[in-house]
Structure 1
Amino acid sequence: MSRPTGRVLTLLELLRSGGTRTVAELADRLGVDGRTVRRYVSQLVDLDVPVESVRGRHGGYRLAPGYRLPPLMLGDDEALAVLLGLVAGRRTGLTSAVRTADETASAKIRRVLPRHLARRLDTLLEALDFTDRPGEFATPDAGILLTLADAVRHRRPASIGYTDRDGRRGERTLHAYGIVAHAGRWYVTGEDPRTGEDRTLRLDRVTDARTLPGSFPAPTGPGPAQRVLSGFATAAYRHEVTLRIHATVERIRARLPASVAVLDEAGPEADGDRAAERWRRVELRVERLDWLPPVLASLDRPFVVERPDALRDLVAALAERLGSYAREA
């Protein structure tokens, strides 16, 4: 698809969202000038799309009331891809908030599938399984998701109503850098303009969102996914843990991924010794300590618990327990 064609289709989508759009707004959203917007509108009119021109101070363009797009023409592979996407979205919790639309869309596509393809799809769905249970995680509101996506795309500040993990409700302003799916949940990550610090918010805790006037510069540094993982690893929890582990980076990360632990990779690490076994400093912030001793034991590499003492006691208790099992055998 050529770039001008893509912009014409984007223009159509903007008009379909409802209301009257000014030429200046459309030009800003499409990244073109006003003359080009008018040319794109003419192309839509030539395709029998009823675009109306609204005059006056708040004038612009809008679609005629009651206009609907013609039916989509999907090939077999395209229809199968859409159905599988709907099924996966429902099972992973992404589309459960719009269950009615999800189910009606699936039904419409299935009705027009050729019989042989419908049979193959049924066979696939019978063989398909998921590790996550449907509805295991809360699903973000579709309107909030789209509003924040618009804020990310156009680098506009967003005002967000948010309920934190202690149940406190408040209003936050965020320069949103991206939306990230991780471990069955959805997050928006960005910068708090008041403090300049990174923030990662769970989308199922966002009660409302709206874009604000103005813009912010494109972010530098790590991408949204890495920011989310770093946020998890450095968040404030009940226990602060410091370890030294004699192992390769890969072996440590297999048990303590970036979303859980911060691994000191300074110094010789810059010289490409990720595959070398040496003493490496690892820091974690956790709510509970009881899961760490089995993880450390599974590394099968020397380690030292620098803090806290409670973790050292739990490791010693596990070692004693395992030793007693071996002696009994």
Structure 2
Amino acid sequence: MQNTNTYTPNEMKMRELMEKKQYARALEMLAEIVRQKEVKPEFLYDGAYAYFMLGDYDRAADWVTNTLTYAGMSVKARLLLARICLAKGRTDDAMKLLEFLLTKEAAQLDAAKKNEIRMIGSSLAYRDTARTHRDFPALGAFVLGAPQQAVQAQNMSGAGNAPAGASDAKRLLAKLKQKIEQTQGNLPKGIADPVGTATASVPAAPVSSPAPIAPAAIPAAAQESDGPDAAAQARSILARDIPAREKVRILTQFAGGYYTAHDPACAEAMLAAALRVDVSDWTLRNMALVQADLGNKEKALAFAAQMKRTDFLLLHVLRDV
């Protein structure tokens, strides 16, 4: 970073606003700096970062482009661009950027940057480990380890040395999938899956149960998980200086990766962390399915009961778990 003794008063003010995380005011100050027609690359990056933190990913990408025009070797700008791609659902572009950094800029990666690559890459690499190793070999080796190790880790739940309860989890997962497919196939024509539709909030429908179900204890959910590594990972994501919806997105992606790898306990830890940030119907629905997969029917129903909109498809699945 440039010596602060060379900063103009406006640059000093912008640096102060960025440190205080007052991003909207920092962008106003950046506009003043731009009018001076001599903008240092580090403030171009600050503009990109401020837009990213405010959730304006298109302008953030534009300012990353500006940064790379004047500082083409900026590793932190490329890392920010990878985060922007991830936020916009451009997962392949994000992985290409990480692969580039690991192969072309490895000498410029300190421990903090490597940790960020691992954090971003982990939410992507586990979706398809074989493809990651094939198309992004450096990223695959960095995040997943050697290809054979990744395959062994992914197949552990089906092996003879699988942890206790893994076979039950797989059986429940198969049952849930079958029930969803049967229910979707039996929906009357013209009736769509209610999840995600823009309808008014409806009180949760009563659920047949021997006794009233207390609301799920979201803060305690992570403590109940059998995945301490996942819980630590979740705490690390929550502590990051990124927008709340970005935290939820990353946590949900990690949860999906763990769930696909037949590790519902770790998926539970990730979703519990996401619910601390934003108690959305979609996350509650995912948590209910994870609890069902773990064999915790009452917890699953409790999470479903907290949803603002009644999801009959989910209730139909949970009813027969």
Alignment TM class, shorter chain as reference: under 0.3
Question: With structure 1 as the length reference, what TM-score do the two structures score?
Answer: 0.22
Bigger share in strand: 1
Higher relative contact order (CA 8 A, sep 6+): 2
Larger Rg: 1
Bigger share in helix: 2
